[in-house]
Amino acid sequence: MKQLWAPWRMAYIEASTKEEGCIFCTRFQSSDLRASLVLAQTPYTVVMLNKFPYNNGHLLLAPKRHEHELAQLPADDFADLNETLRRSVAIVRDVFQPGGVNLGMNLGRCAGAGIEDHLHWHIVPRWEGDTNFMPVLGETRVMPQHLLESYDRLKPLFQNLPA
């Protein structure tokens, strides 16, 4: 039998407290953006790595405005989000060279939203063969790159977003 070593998972397992407040409202205000996984901010949008990714380079984009209804998002906020989404996909493609990219958002718990109270979009890079038996049989997702290594590869390309 082969062993799968993922020592970075211990921090998740040992974490006994849930993060206070809304991650999309608080993380971009952190003094340590790298530890908070925040890659960039624009006037209306925050871009961060997903702390519990489906794949390496899995980004989350959210409006800075705490809103859960897409129809209630002001036009300026929505336009900024769309431009940031477009540019973020280009950055992910440039850095990771995936075969494809999944884009999506889950509106409501029954649609899969882990954080219902704040709109957010997912950008998930995909490669041929990136899914296998591990998540199904072993209930384990194999991540070939540490989050902070992904952060360090992405961060320089996000410097050109309007602040």
Q: Which long-range contacts (CB under 8 A, 24 or more apart) does 139-148 make?
A: 140/4, 140/6, 141/54, 142/4, 142/6, 143/6, 143/53, 143/55, 143/56, 144/56, 145/56, 146/8, 147/8, 147/37, 147/49, 147/51, 147/53, 148/34
State the catalytic residue, choosing from 58, 66, 120, 122.
120
By three-state DSSP, how is residue 7 classified? coil
Q: Are 141 and 134 in contact (CB under 8 A)?
A: yes
68 is catalytic: no
Rounded Cα gap, residues 34 and 90, in angstroms: 21
Phi first, then psi: give them for residue 16, nearest 5 degrees: -100, -15
Ranges of H-type helices in 27-111: 75-96
Rounded Cα gap, residues 111 and 113, in angstroms: 6
Task: Give the catalytic positions in this structure.
Answer: 120
